[in-house]
Amino acid sequence: MMGRIEPIVMPKWGLAMTEGTVVGWEAGEGDRVDQGQDILEIETTKITNVFEAPAGGTLRRQVVHEGDTVPVGALLGVLADDEVSDEEIDSFVSGFVVEADDGEAAGEGAPEPRKAEAGGRTLRYLEMGAGEGTPVLLVHGFGADLNAWMFVQPTLAEGRRTVALDLPGHGGSQKDVGAGTPESMADTLSAFMDEVGLERAHVVAHSLGGAVALALASAKPDRVSGLTLIAPAGLGDEINHEFITGFIEAGRRKEMKPVLGLLVADPSLVSRDMIEDVLKAKRIDGAEEALRTVAAANFAGGRQAVLLRDALAGLSCPVEIAWGEADRILPASHAEGLPEAVRVRRMADVGHMPHMEAAGEVTRLILAGLE
């Protein structure tokens, strides 16, 4: 571990997060933990997520307990070597100061979404990080927006440029989706890369975004250095039609809650604020029509209209696919029978949102693909 004492602090997951609630600890005081081991669950305004140990060592102190809500940066617990005395732990805890440092924890100076004109459309995007590492472009799925990457983008941004965008018709982007096909959105994506000076990038994409990324890599292979696809569309016929129609039709919280519950293995992870945020986004002028157009172009009749297995087989860039075994939107069986060069990671007890349900594991998978 780094140093004799390692603080565990409340992480900042996403631009809007200012505090989090400890749902429960998965390790007790005195337990030995490894770096990256699930150590506690934290509830945010979006979703409940598992927090991993930042270092290995003995969990010497749980400072915050189940049900406590504390600000970003607050001390949650202490990891330390066994030879560190209890008095030293007490002194560390009593002297710990929540860092406001660059003001990011207070929402000041944090990266803010921007707008770009690309392919005749205005697109919203969020850029984080800089450095010599391979740039990463993050593409969300149907009905989502750039906030889908709130758990993984900050870590990916350490040492490299990362750009997450709202696809046409989604989030803060223009609601004109054109044909709404993966190919048409890939054209817009390429124009967006031109506009923001992203000549070539490793593309990380989820669900419908995966089909868009495949279409981009197939049409313009010089723009894509590699792909990490998370439960991508376009690799099989089946899709959960109940989810697609339910997401479009739901206008009230009690209608949307069971629909969003289909996205994750454990529906209790879906928070009230997450539901409200989705409903708020759908109420923007043109949003519902955009969703209907995209759904008609890609999922008409409850089947996927575009199959990209041949496109995948023709790619020369490295491709890795992650899929939750408990996915109830696109079955994990779509990851079977792919070209040998495609690495597939199937994740137990994870649904359609591995980048939110198992963010640490997905982040490590992406980083490994960037090496």
pLDDT for 3 equals: 52
Alpha helices (H) along the chain: 86-95, 153-156, 182-195, 208-219, 241-249, 253-261, 272-282, 287-299, 309-313, 354-357, 359-370
pLDDT for 83 equals: 87
CA 370 from centre of chain: 17
Residue (of 166, 158, 162, 165) closest to 135 by Cα position = 162
pLDDT for 106 equals: 45
Provide φ and ψ at 205, rounded to 5°. -145, 145
- pLDDT (tens place) for every residue of the chain, 371 residues total: 445 889 999 888 766 678 889 989 999 999 999 888 889 988 877 677 888 888 888 999 999 999 999 988 899 999 998 889 999 999 999 999 887 645 444 445 678 899 999 989 999 999 999 999 999 999 999 999 999 999 899 899 999 999 999 999 999 999 999 999 999 999 999 999 999 999 999 999 999 999 999 999 999 999 999 999 999 999 999 999 999 999 999 999 999 999 999 999 999 888 888 899 899 999 999 999 999 999 999 999 899 999 999 999 999 999 999 999 999 999 999 999 999 999 999 999 999 999 999 888 999 999 999 98
pLDDT for 15 equals: 65
Q: What is the pTM of this model?
A: 0.84
Domains, the chain, ranges and CATH?
A: 5-95 (2.40.50.100), 113-369 (3.40.50.1820)
pLDDT for 109 equals: 60
Output the furthest CA–CA distance in the chain (Å, rounded).
Answer: 66
Query: How many C-alpha atoms does 149 have within 13 Å on its Cβ side?
Result: 30
CA distances to 74, 84, 245, 303 from 105, rounded to whole Å, are 10, 30, 38, 44
Structure tokens, 345:
């990671």
